[in-house]
Amino acid sequence: MNGDKSSNAYWRANIRIITICMVIWALVSYGGGILLRPVLSGIKVGGSDLGFWFAQQGSILVFIVLIFGYVFRMNRLDREYGVEE
């Protein structure tokens, strides 16, 4: 990386990506699985209510998508700043 400004910009972008992932994670796990569970309980999915499905299955699937999205975005960011492996 070229200089301190480039390094700071890289880490700001990195922290922004992590923050976005953490917010999505919190919304899905707490929002879908806990806070919105009573609202989602009337909707049936695969023999169970949607709130339970989000708490048990949906959040896991979202977490897996977040992992792959993070890897994709960080690889692109590394190439952009010239710090790829």
Tens place of pLDDT per residue across the chain (85 aa): 556 778 899 999 999 999 999 999 888 888 777 787 788 788 887 788 877 777 777 788 889 999 999 999 999 999 999 887 7
Q: Contact 23/16 with Cβ under 8 angstroms? A: no
Q: What local confidence, expressed as pLDDT, does residue 73 receive?
A: 96
Find how far residue 49's CA is from the centre of its chain.
24
Counted domains in the chain? 1
Q: What local confidence, expressed as pLDDT, does residue 69 receive?
A: 97
Q: What local confidence, expressed as pLDDT, does residue 84 receive?
A: 78
Domain with 57, as residue range(s), is 3-81
Q: What local confidence, expressed as pLDDT, does residue 9 receive?
A: 93
